Amino acid sequence: MSDATTTRQSYQSINFADKLARFTDHWQPRVIAEMNDYQFKVVRIEGDFLWHEHADTDETFIVLEGELRIDMRDGFVLVSAGEMFVVPKGVEHKPYAEREVKMMLIEPRGVINTGGETNERTSVNDMWI
């Protein structure tokens, strides 16, 4: 028998609620999967973040629970549970959640959550859960 027939791949779906139940801190995205060079991250947020932009990539926000407001310099968008919004690359934005929001981010591997600056709100990259 060849190695291909003796080795079995383990297939398992990813449960968002299960992953989110494993941590309680805010503004610290956790990677749950990768597709090519993109990472899928779950995160809990509450309160205000900071103004930032991603010069080289779009950023996708998918709200799983709660309501997210994303401020842009020329307006804002409300994103409710079951909805998503893509912030285009180079657009300065600031996420805000009056109450806790659970969401997924989709962005290329290595993107810094605070954009071009690092500070006390910068999260660790590639933190898997």
Q: Among the CATH numbers 1.10.760.10, 3.40.50.620, 1.10.1300.10, 2.60.120.10, which is that of 36-108?
A: 2.60.120.10
Model pLDDT for residues 33-44, shown as the tens digit of each residue = 999 999 999 999
Model pLDDT for residues 3-21, shown as the tens digit of each residue = 555 678 889 999 999 999 9
- Domain ranges across the chain: 36-108
Nearest partner of 55 among 118, 112, 123, judged by Cα: 112
Alpha helices in the chain (DSSP H): 3-6, 16-20
Model pLDDT for residues 63-115, shown as the tens digit of each residue = 999 999 999 999 999 999 999 999 999 999 999 999 999 999 999 999 999 88
Is residue 94 within 8 A of residue 71, CB to CB? The reply is: yes
User: Distance between CA atoms of 108 and 99, rounded to whole angstroms?
Assistant: 27
Residues 28-53, mean pLDDT to the nearest whole number: 97
Residues 47-73, mean pLDDT to the nearest whole number: 97
